[in-house]
Amino acid sequence: MIFGDASPKVGDAREGSAPRKRKMTMSDALRWAWGDELPKLHEAGASGAPSGYSSGWGSMIAYGELNSIVDRQPNRFGCIPFDQVGWPHADALLIADAVSSLAQCTVDVPEGWHPMPELVEIDEALASRAVGDALIKATVSDNEGAMHFRARPDVLVVRHAILGLVPDWRLSHRPVKEFEVWPNGRHRWFVRRDVRTVVGEDADGSDRIAVQTTEVDGWSTRLQRPAAGAYRKARFAPDPVPVMVARAEYEIFCAAMCMLYDQLDGTLETVELQAVDWPVQPWGDSPERSTDSRRGRILPDLSAVSPSNGLPESVAKSKARRRRKPAAKAA
């Protein structure tokens, strides 16, 4: 049995006239395909009771239909099927095939990838550590050891088509450097100690000792000061790593949208795609960043700025008065 859709198709024209195309952006075309057309397709073997069916079990059937709607599984496009069975528009199927082909794409990590270079101005070591943590969360390694981004372009595009979501690359607050503290606000100090542990027995019957270096509390409660060799741990607050991962996903999403446009432009019968300039790195054009920091993704070597040796005029006068007071008393 072939199910047809009696509703007029997008771009249907009267007999004898050229078909009209509806202008859409890539985002609009994705939302149209996943929101209006692809849910018409049910999975093979899925069927419901014909409309108008009535019997002595009518109430039971109605209850079963309600449960089937609640528990209905997505079709192969990731959509919850409509109640009325139909066939998606041909253009929607072309769009779905193009999105599905994105699953074959592997996104390599570019050399020197740094989604938040402004952190180098705060602390270069912390910035490098944050990028390393972001790469651990955002990438996977193949058999040859090459790193690839974990996010799949097709999944990001389908998420955008169904939910309208774009990876959120924005920062709630500019990260600042701070040190780890206890819940009471006191700074945490750490120190490394060698710990001797008995791990077995030697041939002569003596204990086999293994020495391991562990990190322990570096605050001396007896002296009320940090122990010798103690150190503090610095970090960024808020943590920039989740935003770094989101920025990687945003760049992948933008590249996928551009690939879809290039692949589908001019191939759809009823849709004319409109080009949209997706900013690949919108955080690079943020007004919060200075003009000098927009020149490249990887910042050049930063020269240390020496503090000014001059004193404010009010402070200088105060120091001069203190120096004159002992001389006045001696007189």
Reported as a single tens digit per residue, the pLDDT across 169-196 is 998 889 999 999 999 889 999 999 988 8
Confidence of residue 293 (pLDDT cuts 50, 70, 90): very low
Mean pLDDT of the 57-78 span = 58
d(CA 316, CA 141): 61
CA distance 121 to 103: 38
User: Looking at the predicted structure, is the pLDDT value of residue 136 above 60?
Assistant: yes
pLDDT of residue 155: 93
Q: Residue 233 half-sphere exposure, CB side, CA atoms within 13 Å?
A: 15
Model confidence over 206-232: pLDDT tens digits?
888 888 888 889 888 888 899 999 999
CB-based contacts of 287, cutoff 8 Å, min separation 6: none
Phi then psi for residue 279, to 5 deg, are -65, 120
Going by C-alpha positions, the residue among 158, 164, 226, 157 that lies closest to residue 190 is 226
52-74 mean pLDDT: 50
User: Using CA atoms, how far apart are residues 281 and 21, in angstroms rounded to an integer?
Assistant: 32
